Chain A
Amino acid sequence: MKVPLSRLAHTRSGDKGDTANIGVIAWDPRHYPILLRELTPERVRRHFGDLVRGPVERFELPNLAALNFLLHHALGGGGTVSLRLDAQGKTLGAAVLSLEIEADDLVE
């Protein structure tokens, strides 16, 4: 069964220079292993395509049932240099919610 990430998690995103961060938090901690398995840095990198010019790093926070992603060179130069409307990546957290993930082991 494929479900959008929004079924399993909520997010908040922000910036550090030209790097965007996206925190992904499982609504139900029992779904953290699904996030860990499905939401690889490669998946996230592919999802964003050309929007992210550099590598994607992933950090694990099992105590919060959460993952933290760093998207490097994702903000058009970042901060004051960027010409983007969303130069601080505030909306990138929402963009990852549409990612479709395999969740046969979803607990209802």
Chain B
Amino acid sequence: MIRIANGQGFWGDWLEAPVRLVEQGPIDYLALDYLAEVTMSILQKQKQADPALGYARDFPPLIGRIAGKIRERGIKVIANAGGVNPVGCARAVLKAAAGLRVAVVLGDDVFSRLDEFLSRGYPLSGLDSGQPLSTIRDRVLSANAYIGAFPLAEALSTGADVVIAGRSTDTALALAPMIHHFGWSDNDWDRLAAGTVAGHIVECGAQATGGNSQVDWQSIPDMANIGYPIIEAEPDGVFTITKHAGTGGRVNSHVVKEQLLYELGDPRNYLTPDCVADFTSIQIEDSGPDRVRLQGIRGGPRPASLKLSISYSAGWKATGTLVYSWPQALEKARAADAIVRERLRLLGLGFDEIYTEILGVNACHGPLAPDASDPPEVQLRIGVRGPDRGQVDRFTRELVPLVLNGPPGATGFGEGRPPAREIVAYWPALIPREEIRTRVEVVE
């Protein structure tokens, strides 16, 4: 049996979680997931500004903090912290923790190969839009193939203490140690599917241990010290989800079911670069305090294509807020919204969308929200989106003046006008898997 923990569900997750995982109990592998769909484009921009950057900057100082413990206990770290510069990330890690053996997985970054792909007849059509990539080619900011667990397992086999990948899938981070440790073959579909399901459960960190859970949330113990999830994986593909003894949170079958369904599409066809997992085959049972056992998982052959994560510039947006107080808080906010829209119209500004929500009344659930006809206070939130930065900037000047020239009782403008932000949109596409060749390098 091996123990694989996940200590980071996204870039920005709790900094203490991975430290506690290595200090508060036994683990063999520490997986850390840093990438969301559009993170790569942010990193690409950082690398353009400074060629030494372009990776998750939280990662090297974290390794610096835990280097002593992972060396002492022989814990291996696997992270997709490399972003668009895994080698740069590895160098920063070695600076923060000299003497560790660090391996990187390369080959996922296809930004420089897009025109080659297009010229060879791959349209790279957007899976959401159906349009060929040529329609947005000049606005592309980054392009990476999602890579699976086998290149990460190969990196582990170099004896590395730390494996750094770019755009690996989240599930691969947990599956790779199982492939490496148990020697699973690349067509052992049921075991690969089991490891993939395990990876799906832990990839969002504490969402598997009682975080963001509706399961009697008021009674979940000691959330302040919530334990992050640990997979106890067995060679036959059976595994248990648990957490370190003495930590907060809760692991039971209902909590784990919530996470199994999180961001799920067709449950029979959970596609990864490694296999297709069938979530309708999962057998789940409570097997002890804070322990859930899963087995019976079936899988099928991996898809012939890999998914590309392409990001592109899609205009500008800004969102600003003002708070209105009782009496008539809601009425005042609605009046202010009408005034802003009229002023934008008189200025002749053109946006793709103007969107208004009233926080405290209907922002989350729209028309489904329960009646709140006279709330003590509300926050008016107006956003605009359009192709022209100048026009979006002009909008941002239209909110704060309402404090003096609009309905009475406005406050909450202390941070001034909101910033205009570039919209970096996501363009998933497919490419035949033989086009993507990964390689492993040990960085000294």
Q: Which A residues have a C-beta under 8 Å from some C-beta of B?
A: 10-12, 14-18, 21, 23-25, 27, 47-51, 59-64, 66, 68, 70, 76-77, 79-81, 83-86, 90-95, 98
Kindly state the separation between the CA atoms of A10 and B423 in the bound complex, as whole angstroms: 34
B308–chain A nearest beta-carbon distance, Å: 14
Given known A-B contacts A15-B263, A25-B261, A63-B283, A81 and B365 have beta carbons under 8 A apart? no
Instruction: Give me 16 A-to-B residue pairs in the complex whose CB atoms sit less than 8 angstroms apart, sorted by A's number.
Output: A11-B258, A14-B262, A17-B428, A25-B254, A61-B279, A63-B283, A64-B257, A64-B279, A80-B424, A81-B425, A83-B355, A83-B383, A84-B357, A86-B363, A86-B364, A95-B365
Q: Is the interface of A mostly helix, strand, loop or mixed?
A: mixed
Residue B281 interfacial (CB < 8 Å)? yes
A21–B270 Cα distance when bound, in Å, is 14
CA distance A86 to B319 in the complex (A): 13
User: Once the chains are docked, how many angstroms separate the CA of A15 from the CA of B128?
Assistant: 13
Interface centre among A50, A51, A84 (most CB of B within 10 A): A84
Please, how many angstroms separate the alpha-carbon atoms of A90 and B364 in the complex?
9
Shortest C-beta distance, A34 to chain B (Å), equals: 17
For window 276-290 of B, CB contacts with A under 8 Å fall at 279-284
6 closest cross-chain pairs (CB), A and B:
A23-B261, A83-B383, A83-B355, A14-B263, A91-B364, A12-B258
State in angstroms the CA–CA spacing of A17 and B427 once bound together.
9
CB-defined contacts of B335 to chain A, threshold 8 Å: none
Describe B's contact surface by its main secondary structure: mixed
Q: Does B430 contact A (CB under 8 A)?
A: no
Within 8 Å CB of B257, what residues of A?
23, 25, 64, 66
Give chain B's interface residue range (CB within 8 Å of chain A): 35 or more
User: Residues of B at under 8 Å CB distance from A?
Assistant: 37-38, 128, 207, 212-215, 254, 257-268, 279-284, 314, 317, 319, 353, 355, 357, 359, 363-368, 381, 383-385, 423-426, 428
* Residues of chain A within 8 A of B214, CB atoms compared: 10-12, 93-94
- Report whether A68 and B368 are in contact in the complex, using a CB–CB cutoff of 8 Å: no
Question: Chain A CB within 10 Å — which of B214, B381, B425, B428 has the most?
Answer: B214
Question: Whole-angstrom distance between the alpha carbons of A76 and B366 in the complex?
Answer: 12
Contact B265–A70 (Cβ < 8 Å) = yes
| Alpha-carbon distance between A70 and B267 when the two chains are bound, in angstroms | 11
A61-B368 in contact given A21-B261, A23-B262, A85-B381 (Cβ < 8 Å): no
B403 to chain A, nearest CB (A): 22
Q: How far is the CA of A91 from the CA of B214 in the complex (A)?
A: 11
Q: Which of A18, A51, A61, A79 contacts B280 (CB 8 A)?
A: A61
**Docked CA distance A22–B268 (Å):** 16
Given A80-B424, A83-B383, CB of A91 within 8 Å of CB of B267? no
Contact check, B263 vs A21: say whether CB atoms are below 8 A apart. Answer: yes
Complex Cα distance, B357 from A94, in Å, reads 18
Among A51, A84, A86, A92, contact of B367 (Cβ-Cβ < 8 Å): A51
